[in-house]
A = this chain, B = another copy of it.
Amino acid sequence: MDVVYVLDILGTFAFAVSGALVASDKKFDLFGVIIIAFVTAVGGGMLRDVLINAHPINWIADLNYLYVIFTAVVFTFLFKSKIAFLSRTMFLFDTIGISVFTLLGLQKGLSFNLHPIIALIMGMISAVFGGVLRDVLTNKVPLIFEKEIYASACLAGGIIYLLLFKFSILPEKFIFIIAALVVITIRAISVKYHLKLPRIKDDLFGKLK
């Protein structure tokens, strides 16, 4: 089986667990937990496919996503109190997830002959929109808009991919791995050192006062 596919599945699993945890904290019933896990895990790719008219969309084309999500919900049900102790593992899976989702989304965009900027945006939608949907459906302000460097890590990895793809002679698999490591490294460093993007608190002139 393809390595990238395995990583995609690991990421899907991590995203589904994160959705299940948020939903169970909100005291949703089992059905609600499954829906939120589902939306978190495949929501980004689903939106991407609807926007670029790539039918059948991700989870309709490949039933394995459903099975992985269902497994993740059962896993959360069984081991919820233990998952806190697994937080490093889950963080690793989640970070692998966003890196793989970004690059697979970008590749899909390119394969549909979209402009590289649009393909890059499709990569980021794939990676971050599942979490946005999770937060909208649980009536929270989407974390992504406030949290540590997350989407920016995806953006950086995507740009590296595009540059190497265009200007290097490296094989595509190799470029994929380098770009994925860029995403993972940036995110790990930003979490470790609590790096954040600037906000628009004041304008430039305000700062000069």
A interface residues with partner B (beta carbon < 8 Å): 20, 23-24, 26-33, 35-36, 46, 50-53, 55-57, 60, 63, 66, 76-82, 114-115, 117-118, 121, 132, 136-142, 144-147, 151-152, 155, 196-206
A146 to B138, CA, bound (A): 11
3 interchain residue pairs of minimum CB distance? A32-B145, A24-B200, A29-B197
Which residue of B26, B82, B147, B151 contacts A145 across the interface (Cβ within 8 Å)? B26
User: In the complex the two chains form, is A80's CB within 8 Å of B200's CB?
Assistant: yes
Question: Can you list 26 A-B pairs, Cβ within 8 angstroms, ordered by A?
Answer: A20-B200, A24-B199, A24-B200, A26-B145, A29-B198, A29-B199, A30-B197, A30-B198, A30-B199, A32-B145, A46-B51, A51-B60, A52-B56, A60-B118, A76-B200, A77-B203, A77-B204, A78-B204, A79-B203, A80-B203, A81-B202, A81-B205, A82-B203, A137-B142, A137-B145, A139-B139
Within the complex, the shortest CB–CB distance from A187 to chain B, in Å, comes to: 13
Q: Which residues of B are found within 8 Å of A202, using beta-carbon distances? A: 80-81
Q: Which residue of B lies closest to A23 (CB)?
A: B145
Q: Which residues of B are found within 8 Å of A197, using beta-carbon distances? A: 29-31
Q: Which residues of B are found within 8 Å of A139, using beta-carbon distances? A: 136, 139-141
Most B CB contacts (10 A, CB to CB) among A32, A81, A141 go to: A32
Q: Which residue of B lies closest to A150 (CB)?
A: B31
Q: Which residue of B lies closest to A121 (CB)?
A: B66
Which residue of B114, B140, B145, B206 contacts A36 across the interface (Cβ within 8 Å)? B145
A142 to B39, CA, bound (A): 14
